[in-house]
Chains A and B, each alone.
Chain A
Amino acid sequence: MVISLKNGFTEAGNATLFVARFFRELVKPPYELKEFIRQCYIMGYKSLPLVAITGFIMGLVLTIQSRPTLAEFGAESWLPGMVALSLIREIAPVITALICAGKISSGIGAELGSMKVTEQIDAMEVSGINPYKYLVVTRVLATTLMVPLLVVFADGIGILGGFAGINIHGDVTMYRYFSQVLSSLEFLDIIPATIKTFFFGFFIGLIGCYKGFTAASGTESVGKAANSAVVTASLAIFIIDMMAVQLTDLFF
């Protein structure tokens, strides 16, 4: 009990130092712009098909599942607005962030973990290159920027999925559907939901990097780093979401 408590505090201390180092290295030149752009391409562009498919399914399923209940109250016309609101405020950010935790965070954890185990990070360090700046800062910045863009993309595709879902049983034109969607949305629905996705992205990248960068020696630790990155990042997403919802409720 005492040992696990001690390990918990040590881990928390190490994680705090890791975050502090991120902000310290972030402002110090040289800047690894080329690697940052490469990471944006890998994390953003290459995740588009996965996010598009899940976004479309989210919108479609949500519409199909909500329809009978709304029909019972004769409120089917509320369906486009309700689907759009649910997607933008909650479902698309959380589901997309969870997908990114599974795809990106585990990928970073495994990549950096294997680099650590095979001494590639040490090789960078002994050749006078700052591996933290090259590997961690670029990846965390890329996830912080790309996850919000992926969420916006998932919002759009999800709303399209909703349009497909409505037209399974009905006949609604695209113009009418989108005018209902837009009339039910306000900026205050979009802004807090988008702000929290920057935090999702930041922690997805940071947790993946931390788990990989601090992997122990041995190939077993690579798997552990990847697994632990997904679990911790997913948990972090729910905690950040809970805090964001509370804050939004308080201020908006």
Chain B
Amino acid sequence: MIQVETNRKTQHVVELSKPVINIKGLYKSFGKNTDILKGVDLTVRKGENLVVLGKSGSGKSVLIKCLVGLVSADKGELNVFGIDMTKLSDQQLNAIRVRIGFLFQNSALYDSMTVRENLSFPLKRHSKKLTTKEVESSITEVLESVGLREAIDKMPSELSGGMRKRIGLARTLILQPEIILYDEPTTGLDTITSREISELILKIQEKYKTTSIIITHDMACAKLTGDRLVILKDGIMVAEGTYASLERSNDAWVRSFFI
């Protein structure tokens, strides 16, 4: 068993023995001459926080969308929990999706539902035997985890950007996923709220022992949350390491992310 001390402020020690995500030679293109991913190889271990960096359009979001089957890969191996994601039926895919949380860039809260309904919507569909009281206590627990207990009866339109992110995260947490994929969790937020969200990601990871892939352009978020960073360039992975090691990279292009 390999144990690596992370660069997180909490000095949390992560067990890095068991890979939960294994990607080999992943290709994806949209039409002719629009190759987005050109053979990505990536392994994410249990309990790890992996940050994916790259310019806009480098294929970061496509990569995590391939992981949950929102975008189908053209070629390559895609294993999650040891299961080949490319060969699953719709029913099997939905069963795996419950174990993977996805926080969208714009939170993607259901506009026509209150916060309570947003949270109970996936829970009621996957845990039909739960009583109303149990559903209510799960909702309260995740809202307390993200520090927004008082927003339970609000509509998404009444929430600020940071609050929407927190509720989005609460909705992701309600199904108790083992993996959480964050698509630019701090985009569009001010510096203070961005830091709060980054700290929340760490807090959630420690409380629920999740594995995370965090796609971000926010270097402060990457520094705070990432155990390991990878950099995508033109659809391939060009650099990998800790924040400190990549900051001192010999490659000027890699270093340019840290300026």
Interface residues of B in 27-66 (CB under 8 A from A): none
A126/B111 in contact, CB under 8 A? no
Q: Is there a chain A Cβ closer than 8 Å to B254's Cβ?
A: no
Neighbouring B residues of A114 by C-beta, 8 Å? 111
Binary contact track A70-97/B, C-beta < 8 Å → 1, others 0: 0000000000000000000000000000
A126/B106 in contact, CB under 8 A? no
A128/B94 in contact, CB under 8 A? yes
Binary contact track A20-35/B, C-beta < 8 Å → 1, others 0: 0000000000100000
Binary contact track A116-128/B, C-beta < 8 Å → 1, others 0: 0011101101111
B95/A128 in contact, CB under 8 A? yes
B106/A128 in contact, CB under 8 A? no
Interface residues of B in 74-117 (CB under 8 A from A): 90, 94-95, 97-98, 100, 102, 104-106, 108-112
Interface residues of A in 104-132 (CB under 8 A from B): 111, 114-115, 118-120, 122-123, 125-130
Closest residue of chain B to A117, judged by CB? B106
Neighbouring A residues of B112 by C-beta, 8 Å? 111
Question: CA A114 – CA B125 in complex, angstroms?
Answer: 23
Interface size range on B against A: 20 to 34
Neighbouring A residues of B171 by C-beta, 8 Å? 123, 127
Which of A119, A120, A122, A129 counts the most chain B CB atoms within 10 A?
A120
Question: CA A182 – CA B96 in complex, angstroms?
Answer: 61
Question: CA A115 – CA B95 in complex, angstroms?
Answer: 23
Question: If A114-B111, A128-B126, A129-B122 touch, does A123 touch B102 (CB 8 Å cutoff)?
Answer: yes
Neighbouring A residues of B109 by C-beta, 8 Å? 120, 123
Question: CA A119 – CA B70 in complex, angstroms?
Answer: 11
B106/A127 in contact, CB under 8 A? no
Closest residue of chain A to B68, judged by CB? A126
Chain A nearest Cβ from B62, distance in angstroms: 13
Neighbouring B residues of A129 by C-beta, 8 Å? 94, 121-122, 125
Closest residue of chain B to A126, judged by CB? B102
Neighbouring B residues of A118 by C-beta, 8 Å? 106, 108, 111
Neighbouring B residues of A127 by C-beta, 8 Å? 97-98, 102, 122, 171, 175
A126/B100 in contact, CB under 8 A? yes
A122/B126 in contact, CB under 8 A? no
B104/A123 in contact, CB under 8 A? yes
Neighbouring A residues of B106 by C-beta, 8 Å? 118-119
Question: If A128-B94, A128-B98, A128-B126 touch, does A123 touch B108 (CB 8 Å cutoff)?
Answer: yes
Chain A nearest Cβ from B189, distance in angstroms: 17
Chain A nearest Cβ from B106, distance in angstroms: 6
Question: CA A126 – CA B94 in complex, angstroms?
Answer: 8
Closest residue of chain B to A111, judged by CB? B112
Neighbouring A residues of B69 by C-beta, 8 Å? 125
Question: CA A125 – CA B122 in complex, angstroms?
Answer: 10
A122/B125 in contact, CB under 8 A? no
Chain B nearest Cβ from A104, distance in angstroms: 16
Set B68, B70, B110, B126: member contacting A120, Cβ < 8 A:
B110
B108/A120 in contact, CB under 8 A? yes
Question: CA A115 – CA B112 in complex, angstroms?
Answer: 10
Interface residues of B in 154-171 (CB under 8 A from A): 171
Question: CA A123 – CA B69 in complex, angstroms?
Answer: 12
Set B108, B126, B175: member contacting A119, Cβ < 8 A:
B108
The 10 A-B residue pairs with the shortest CB-CB distance, nearest first, are: A123-B108, A128-B94, A119-B108, A127-B122, A128-B97, A126-B102, A128-B98, A119-B104, A126-B68, A120-B108
Which residues of B are at the interface with A, using a C-beta cutoff of 8 A?
Answer: 68-70, 90, 94-95, 97-98, 100, 102, 104-106, 108-112, 121-122, 125-126, 171, 175
